[in-house]
Amino acid sequence: MKYPQPKKIPHETKIHDQVLTDDYFWMRNREEDSDVIKFLNEENELFKNYLNDSEELKNTIFEELKSRELQTYETCPYPHDEYEYFERYEEGKDYPIHFRRHIGTNEKQVCLDENELAQGRDFLDVGTFEISPCHRYLIYTIDDNGDELYDLYIKDLSTNEIILEGPKKINGGPVWFNDSKHYAYIEMDENMRPFKVHVTDMVNSFDKVIYTEESGEYFLTIEETMDHRYLLINAGGSANNSISYIKADASDLNPIEIFPKEDKIEYTVETDGNDFLVLTNKFSENFSILRTPIARPDYASATVEVEGSSERYLTNLNVFKDFKVISFREKGLNHFLVIKGDERKEISFPEDAYHVGGGNNANFDTKVYRYNYSSPTTPSTTYDYNVETGESTRIHQIEVPGFDQHKYVVERKFIPSHDGVMVPMTIIRAKTTKIGDPNKCLLYGYGSYSISIHPWFNRNNISLLDRGFVYAIGHIRGSSTMGRSWYENGKFLKKQNTFKDFYACAKYLINEGYTAKGRIGIMGGSAGGMLVGATINLDTENLIGAACADVPFVDVLNTMLDDSLPLTQLEYEEWGNPNDKEYFDYIKSYCPYSNIQKRDYPAVLAIAGLNDPRVTYWEPMKWTYKLRDFASDSRVKLLWTNMDAGHAGASGRFETFKEFADIYTFFIKELE
């Protein structure tokens, strides 16, 4: 394959008595150097040509992916006061239509048709769909190029007219006040950091900044308490935060801080009568729930509502009028604890691998808790749990045409890593795919920011499973699958545990006969793309046959040395600050871009988003070219850039299917 040949312009960074040389630093400057877009377009054409001899396979997979989603269907309606809200997808249309109807009636009203908004746009993301407390007004926000900067609109649902085009290029919120007249939103700074909370009176055209976060290490978010009494402003970093509150009736717009920032202390709050319930790691690594007065919040005098535990990781807190639901994780799987008065009841689930999480619970005064359950062989299913009867009722399940869950096997294994720590892995295969055969395999992972990749249902993977693939998820350190310490042991100066856990999963799949050397592919996105890049650098045994890195964070060292980039300062609490030599040396030891060697590598597909504000397009671009420079093998090293999207990729459902069809075709071809 003949690759484009970009110029090399050495760029030097001097730090800690060392010189870092980057031949492709110039690729950052797409506005000043037309070669950047020229090469991205050439790479896209190269990838298109690569797929040409597999056009039939790619189209077949696309049709399969499309066939597993009903072309016309409605989502599960959720109650919100006297209405129920839902979305409808229609045949041939990429985007949902948002509807509502009065509970007990069949007459539907269109609130927002995203297909109309998408006309004339190559990309569309509706970031916020926020109904006012009186249910007359709708705030929605639009990002039309993937840069995660949103424009705000207010629609009067009684007339179907746009009554206000609000602030542009915002992120965070917006949230209504109880009077359905005021709303809060968050302004971005020049580095795309949410840093100022505004309150607007849409009737009197009043706008006021009520909170500013000066530190570049903290991002602002805003939400309301479940009882609708307060708005909560969260100034969050990677390892700590503070929360301030204002009254939701807009009577006092002066934020009051609940607890100040403390190193490595995180908390969230809900209100319960005159008290705050605080979910925090202040006294327990796996978090506990404390009760303290709203008028005088104080850790020292707080009472313990739910104890912390080394076995149970408390992850979420919902407070309703007459009961509470605490989400917790035990042995890597999610459960619920329901508290009603003095009564406590746990909701657990029978499958060995599954995911469960809260659903749309818009009503504070209710007897029902809604949750969503799925597993690798169970499509997403919505249940209502009645706190008075203690029973769960299934009210909706996503229909997947042609899918038979009995054709597949799910296993949960614990794999010894390099240091003897046992790492959970979920393995899915068709019953006709036999252990001991040289099966193709795709191993997926992430492993950063405490984010866990759960064993939920993924209808797209059926196209691989039905072709004899084994699909596996490594629940590696850097996530919080096994509790808070699981995260702490996969960050900072322990980050290499993440990559070694993942590589141990790959070795296990080969050694135990699920796949064979050269027949296993790996995939991850964003920080999971860093995982892919670091793992192929570890793979001196050439076990891995193909790798797909989606919007990969692969130039960790150079990015973390550049505090002008949007996320760098916030990221110090995840990777460390390389201006400190200890962190510099450690990041340099694993950074995928810095550690490419002159040796064989697997086939590689890197995917970028031109407007990606999180992982800039030039990281996968530079990484691909450097891999080509150093790799001694003849395996393909491909780059595809979505020129109209950002970090999340394509926005329409059919475009998303096309992207997956391309990726799956790549793995099928390269793992032969």
Whole-number Å distance between alpha carbons of 159 and 42: 49
Residue located via tokens 């009176």: 201
640 Cβ partners below 8 Å, 6+ apart?
A: 43, 44, 47, 605, 606, 607, 608, 662
Q: Which of 488, 476, 352 is nearest to 423 (CA)?
A: 476
Whole-number Å distance between alpha carbons of 562 and 546: 31
Whole-number Å distance between alpha carbons of 71 and 291: 48
Active-site residue, selected from the candidate residues 384, 450, 647, 662: 647
Residue 647 known to be catalytic: yes
Residue located via tokens 């595809």: 640
498 contacts 531 by C-beta, under 8 angstroms: yes
The separation between the first and the last C-alpha atoms of the chain, rounded to the nearest angstrom, is: 18
Whole-number Å distance between alpha carbons of 77 and 66: 23
Preceding omega of 194 cis (within 30 degrees of 0): no
Residue 393 burial class via C-beta count within 10 angstroms: exposed 0-12, middle 13-18, buried 19 and up: exposed
Whole-number Å distance between alpha carbons of 533 and 592: 5
For the chain, the maximum distance between any two Cα atoms, rounded to a whole number of angstroms, is: 73
Q: What is the DSSP string of 175-227?
A: EE-TTSSEEEEEEE-TTS-EEEEEEEETTTTEEEEEEE---TT-EEEEEE-TT
652 contacts 586 by C-beta, under 8 angstroms: no
Active-site residue, selected from the candidate residues 144, 501, 612, 662: 612
Q: Which regions of 348-436 does DSSP assign to beta strands (E)?
A: 355-358, 368-375, 378-386, 391-397, 408-416, 422-430
Whole-number Å distance between alpha carbons of 52 and 55: 5
Q: At what angle do helices 55-67 and 653-670 cross, to 10 degrees?
A: 130
Residue 612 known to be catalytic: yes
Whole-number Å distance between alpha carbons of 343 and 361: 21
Name the residue type at position 648: A
270 contacts 280 by C-beta, under 8 angstroms: no
Tell me how far CA of residue 347 lies from CA of 82, 337, 343, 373, 386, in angstroms: 29, 6, 13, 12, 12
Whole-number Å distance between alpha carbons of 6 and 9: 10
Q: What is the dihedral of CA 73, 79, 85, 89, to 10 degrees?
A: -10
Tell me how far CA of residue 195 lies from CA of 214, 297, 621, in angstroms: 7, 25, 30
Active-site residue, selected from the candidate residues 526, 550, 594, 651: 526
Q: How many CA atoms within 13 Å lie on the side-chain side of 193?
A: 24
Residue located via tokens 């964003």: 526
Residues identified as active-site = 526, 612, 647
